[in-house]
A and B are shown apart, each in its own frame.
Chain A
Amino acid sequence: MENKHKSARERFIHYFSDESNRRKLAPYISILFGLLAGLILMLLIGQDPIKGYINILNGSIFKGLFEGNFRRLGGTLAIATVLTFTGLSVAFAFKTGLFNIGVGGQMLFGGFIVVLLGNVLTLPKPVHLLVIVLAAAIGGALWALVPGILKARYRISEVVTTIMMNYVAMWTVSYFVRRWIPGHYETESSMIKESASLKFELLTDLFSGSAINLSIILAGLVVVFIWYILEKTTFGYELKAVGFNPDASKYAGMKVNRNILYSMIISGAIAGLAGASYYAGYTNHVKLGVVPNFGFDGIAVALLGLNSPFGVVLSALLFGVLRTGGEYLNAMTSIPKELVDIIVGLIIYFAAATLLIQFMLTKLIKKMKKNDEKHIEEKVVE
Chain B
Amino acid sequence: MRKLFALFSVFVLFTVLTACGPKLDYDKGTFTGPYCDDLDVFADAKKAAIGMVTDSGTIDDKSFNQGTWEGIQCYNAKHTSAVKYLQPSGETKEDYINAIDNLVDAGYKMIVAPGFKFENAIFEAQTTHEDIKFIIIDGAPHSGNYVPDIKSNTVSVMFAEEQVGFLAGVAAALQTETGKVAFVGGMEIPAVQKFGWGYVAGVAYANDTYDLNVVVTDYLYQGTFTEVTAGQTIAAGMYDEGIDIIFAAAGGVGVGVINEAKTRTEAGEEVWVIGVDSDQYDAGKYGTAGKSVILTSAMKRVDLAAYNYSGALATNSFVGGKQVTYDIKNDGVGLPANNPNLAADTLTKVDTVVAAMKADTIVAPNTKEKLTTYLTSKGYVTPGTITY
Interface residues, chain A, CB within 8 Å of chain B? 51, 54, 57-59, 62-63, 66, 71, 75, 78, 184-187, 191, 211, 282-283, 287, 289, 323-324, 326-328, 330-332, 334, 337
7 A-B pairs with CB atoms under 8 Å apart are A54-B15, A75-B94, A185-B117, A327-B89, A328-B105, A331-B51, A337-B86
In the complex, besides A54-B18, A326-B89, A331-B99, 5 extra interface pairs with C-beta distance below 8 angstroms are A63-B105, A282-B92, A287-B91, A287-B92, A331-B84
Say whether, besides A66-B16, A331-B86, A186 and B94 are in contact (CB < 8 Å): no
Q: Is the CB of B105 within 8 A of A211?
A: no
Per the bound structure, the CA–CA distance linking A58 and B16 in Å amounts to 9
Per the bound structure, the CA–CA distance linking A58 and B14 in Å amounts to 11
Per the bound structure, the CA–CA distance linking A59 and B102 in Å amounts to 8
Residue B379 is within 8 A (CB to CB) of chain A in the complex: no
Per the bound structure, the CA–CA distance linking A323 and B108 in Å amounts to 22
Q: Is the interface of A mostly helix, strand, loop or mixed?
A: helix
Residues of B within 8 Å of A324, CB to CB, are 89, 98
Q: Is the CB of B188 within 8 A of A327?
A: no
Cross-interface CB contact of B188 among A75, A186, A283, cutoff 8 Å: A186
Q: Is the CB of B144 within 8 A of A191?
A: yes
Residues of B within 8 Å of A186, CB to CB, are 187-189, 223
Residues of B within 8 Å of A334, CB to CB, are 25
Closest 4 CB pairs of A and B: A331-B102, A331-B106, A283-B92, A211-B94
| Chain A residue with the shortest CB-CB distance to B105 | A63
Q: Is the CB of B94 within 8 A of A282?
A: yes
Q: Is the CB of B16 within 8 A of A62?
A: yes
Say whether, besides A59-B102, A63-B105, A332 and B14 are in contact (CB < 8 Å): no
| Chain A residue with the shortest CB-CB distance to B104 | A331
Number of A-B contacts (CB under 8 A): 72
* B111 CB, min distance to chain A CBs, angstroms: 11
Q: Is the CB of A283 within 8 A of B94?
A: yes
| Chain B residue with the shortest CB-CB distance to A178 | B223
| Chain A residue with the shortest CB-CB distance to B93 | A283
Residues of B within 8 Å of A185, CB to CB, are 116-117, 187, 189
| Chain A residue with the shortest CB-CB distance to B146 | A184
* A373 CB, min distance to chain B CBs, angstroms: 31
* A77 CB, min distance to chain B CBs, angstroms: 13
Q: Is the CB of B86 within 8 A of A327?
A: yes
Residue B103 is within 8 A (CB to CB) of chain A in the complex: yes
CB within 8 Å of A: which B20-74 residues: 22, 25, 51
Residues of A within 8 Å of B87, CB to CB, are 337
Residues of B within 8 Å of A323, CB to CB, are 89
Residue B152 is within 8 A (CB to CB) of chain A in the complex: no
Q: Is the CB of A62 within 8 A of B98?
A: no
| Chain B residue with the shortest CB-CB distance to A61 | B15
| Chain B residue with the shortest CB-CB distance to A340 | B89
Residues of A within 8 Å of B229, CB to CB, are none
* B186 CB, min distance to chain A CBs, angstroms: 10
Q: Is the CB of A327 within 8 A of B187?
A: no
Per the bound structure, the CA–CA distance linking A287 and B22 in Å amounts to 35
Per the bound structure, the CA–CA distance linking A71 and B97 in Å amounts to 11
* B55 CB, min distance to chain A CBs, angstroms: 11
| Chain A residue with the shortest CB-CB distance to B18 | A54
Q: Is the CB of A63 within 8 A of B116?
A: no
| Chain A residue with the shortest CB-CB distance to B186 | A186
Residues of A within 8 Å of B86, CB to CB, are 327, 330-331, 337
Residue B88 is within 8 A (CB to CB) of chain A in the complex: yes
* B169 CB, min distance to chain A CBs, angstroms: 24
Per the bound structure, the CA–CA distance linking A349 and B93 in Å amounts to 32
Residues of A within 8 Å of B16, CB to CB, are 62, 66
Q: Is the CB of B93 within 8 A of A289?
A: no
| Chain A residue with the shortest CB-CB distance to B103 | A331
Residue B224 is within 8 A (CB to CB) of chain A in the complex: yes
Residue B289 is within 8 A (CB to CB) of chain A in the complex: no
Residues of B within 8 Å of A191, CB to CB, are 144
Per the bound structure, the CA–CA distance linking A185 and B189 in Å amounts to 7
